[in-house]
Amino acid sequence: MSKQLSEEQLETALEMLAVGINGVGREKESLFLAKLCLVLANQLGDIDLLEWAIDQATVDLM
Amino acid sequence: MNRPISQSKSLYFDYPKYGFKRAPEQEGLTSVHPVVIVGGGPVGVTAALELARHGVRSVVLDDKDTVNEGSRAICIARHSVECLQQLGLADRFEEKALAWTSGTSYYRGKPVYRLQMPHSDTDRYYPMYNLQQQYIEKFLIDEAHGNKLIDLRWQSRVTDVEQDYTGVRLHVETPEGKYTIDSNYLLAADGAHSVVRRSLGLALNGEAYEGRYVIVDIQMASDYPTERRAFFDPPSNPGLTILIHRQPDNIWRIDYQVGEDVDEEKELSEDNIRRRISAVLEMIGETGKWQLEWWSLYKAYSLALDDYRHGNILFIGDAAHLVPIFGVRGLNSGFADAMNAAWKLAWVIKGWADEKLLNSYSPERRGATLEVFENAIKSTKFMTPPTRGHHLMRDATLSLAVSNAFARPLINPRQSQPYTYMDSPLTALRKRDAEFECGPGAGAALLDFRFSVTESLLDHVGPGFSGLYFSDSGVVDAQLSGLCGELRVGNVQFALTVITRASPVPGSSSLLLDVDGALFSAYGAGNGTFYLVRPDRHISARWKEIKIDEVRQVFARTLHGGTNE
């Protein structure tokens, strides 16, 4: 990956996502996350990278 | 499953009655017919008319005594209208049909996508029309009844089909007994439940989708324009989808998706349908009176035969394939099948082409079906998401599309387009395509171009093979003139149309004046450009600068089914 967040930015991202999920409520959580993924996939502009990201998110679902 | 409306009670259509006439075979007269067509629906009769256009007789067998009931396939694409134009029926069709170019998709009541199909002043026909299938069938049958080369036999049910190397034998049941009929070739146009297919032990392969739609026609006066309306997760059908189309005679088609767990019988009760339609009409602000006309239940399939040719039997339309309605590809594919199969069969029967020409039918039309599947599967997954994941991402797309342009193209219903026979054995010299910057490539359908209200390029294309020659001067030299003479087959002239930017040569009837060069541009043409066009108006090959020898070779190769001998 060519561009990654700094540790500090990653912490900020984590907080933003948590607040975002809490803000939409449990009922809309899935739709919110699906929309977020689609927006980010479009911004990513790299289908291979998206596939890699999906793989990363799929493993170790405990 | 549908509501078999009493035909005399249709609110707008007088169902014709086609009487039974005893067949010559029932009087002891036997002969081998060149072609028998099983199925007198729109695809079968189109094939009969196209065969007749090339001078070939056919017998059409159908068990009904009228046209198919209900509006069924209502969206007719431009390419299909061009087929009707070739059969002399486009004017009658256009007079009745409603043309449209656009549509709107809504998500929870908000507009999220505007469909706009390209249409310009140089297009003779609109990209899409709505017309009930009964009308299309009636127009075709009226034309066929007036054609001496077509023997339409109603109330004649085919019960079995046999074939050997000499031809095909069909067993037919009629109100006045049974008979057998022999033919050299058979076109199976007997629809989804094809008896011909069953007789040969053939199966359609592919997928069935979960989503079911109730398809309802109502009569209602409304000023709403003719366009496609799609409602995703609307208040009147939460979590599901509704499609609305306008048809002639104040008939409105309302298709609504039903849930997976509904009881079909209850869902299709008249009371329930009235309740559902009332809710839809309330949602779209229609407050006037309406009457129920017809309804049916629809389930999406992507199924096809592995091969559309079995010996002397060619399968066309729904007998060969079933495609989802989203994107309006069913009847539109059927028309293209019929035209493709019929000209090839005609040219083989007339002795103008080698029997190997028929080998190209299945690769071309099955190739078209596979492309249809590719698009239709995308449309179907969007209209009726098959899994929770698909459902969630579909909703995410729709929700994003309210405010984000990037998501809107994903809502495009991908309407029917003519297929390019790129990998066909008949499509030649694709390397020559690289010489062009634009224009229809080898295998593509001819691009029509309107010169006036009543005249377009299609009017200048002949019944057999044709050539488009682009010339600055408009002069046809002796070599090209000689080639046209050579390419005459039987009594069919090679139709040469010369397109020029210069003043017309006096007395030349095949010369088109392209003063502003728009046709030159549309075809990527320069001085000397040549397009070789098949009888079904697909491009065989094209040359930026004509190569007489290559044209001759491609023509000969085409008549040999894409082989060199």
| CATH (domain of B497) | 3.40.30.120
- Which residue of chain A comes nearest to B400, CA vs CA? A35
B549 found inside a domain: yes
Mean pLDDT of the region A3-29: 91
Q: Which helix (H) or strand (E) holds B313?
A: strand B313-315
B378 found inside a domain: no
CA-to-CA dists, residue B97 to B80, B81, B296, B309, angstroms? 13, 11, 22, 34
pLDDT at B564: 59
CATH number at residue B167: 3.50.50.60
Q: Which residues of B touch A38 (CB under 8 A)?
A: 393, 396-397, 400, 407
Name which of B392, B393, B400 is nearest A39 (Cβ-Cβ).
B400
B11 found inside a domain: no
- Better pLDDT: B505 or B447: B447
Q: Do residues B367 and B441 share a domain?
A: no
Name which of B392, B404, B407 is nearest A31 (Cβ-Cβ).
B392
Q: Do residues B49 and B143 share a domain?
A: yes
Q: Which residues of A touch B404 (CB under 8 A)?
A: 39
C-alpha to C-alpha distance for B98 and B366, rounded to whole angstroms: 30
Closest CA of chain B from A31, distance in Å? 6
Phi–psi pair at B351, nearest 5 degrees: 80, 15
Q: Inform me whether the C-beta atom of residue A40 falls under 8 Å from chain B C-beta atoms.
A: no
pLDDT at B498: 92
- Reported as a single tens digit per residue, the pLDDT across B362-421 is 999 999 999 888 887 788 888 888 888 999 999 999 999 999 999 998 888 776 678 899
Tell which of B354, B373, B392 closes a domain: B373
B282 found inside a domain: no
B102 found inside a domain: no
Pairing of strands B58-61, B150-153: parallel
Domain count for chain B: 2
pLDDT at B272: 95
- Reported as a single tens digit per residue, the pLDDT across B93-103 is 999 999 999 99
Q: Do residues B469 and B545 share a domain?
A: yes
The answer to whether residues B254 and B230 touch, using CB atoms and an 8 Å cutoff, is no
Q: Do residues B35 and B133 share a domain?
A: yes
Q: Do residues B335 and B194 share a domain?
A: yes
Q: Do residues B180 and B317 share a domain?
A: yes
Question: What average pLDDT does chain B have?
Answer: 91
Q: Which residues of B touch A35 (CB under 8 A)?
A: 396, 399-400
Q: Do residues B361 and B439 share a domain?
A: no
Mean pLDDT of the region B191-206: 95
* Best residue in A27, A38, A44, A50 for a mutation probing chain B (most B CBs within 10 Å): A38
Q: Which residues of B touch A24 (CB under 8 A)?
A: none
pLDDT at B95: 97
Q: Which residues contact B510 (CB under 8 A, 6 or more apart)?
A: B460, B495, B496, B497, B498
DSSP states of B493-524 as a string? --EEEEEESSPPPTT-TTEEE-TT-HHHHHTT
- Better pLDDT: B518 or B328: B518
* Count of beta carbons in the 10 Å neighbourhood of residue A51: 10
Q: Which helix (H) or strand (E) holds B171?
A: strand B167-174
pLDDT at B328: 63
Q: Do residues B169 and B69 share a domain?
A: yes
C-alpha to C-alpha distance for B231 and A37, rounded to whole angstroms: 24
pLDDT at B7: 47
- Reported as a single tens digit per residue, the pLDDT across B512-557 is 878 788 999 999 999 999 999 999 999 999 999 999 999 999 999 9
B58 found inside a domain: yes
Q: Do residues B351 and B488 share a domain?
A: no
Mean pLDDT of the region B347-352: 96
Domain ranges, residue B145: 29-97+120-204+302-373
- Chain B residues interacting with chain A (CB cutoff of 8 angstroms): 392-393, 395-397, 399-400, 404, 406-407
B131 found inside a domain: yes
**Three-state secondary structure string covering chain A:** CCCCCCHHHHHHHHHHHHHHHHHHCHHHHHHHHHHHHHHHHHHHCCHHHHHHHHHHHHCCCC
* ipTM value for the complex: 0.88
Q: Do residues B37 and B130 share a domain?
A: yes
Q: Do residues B368 and B434 share a domain?
A: no
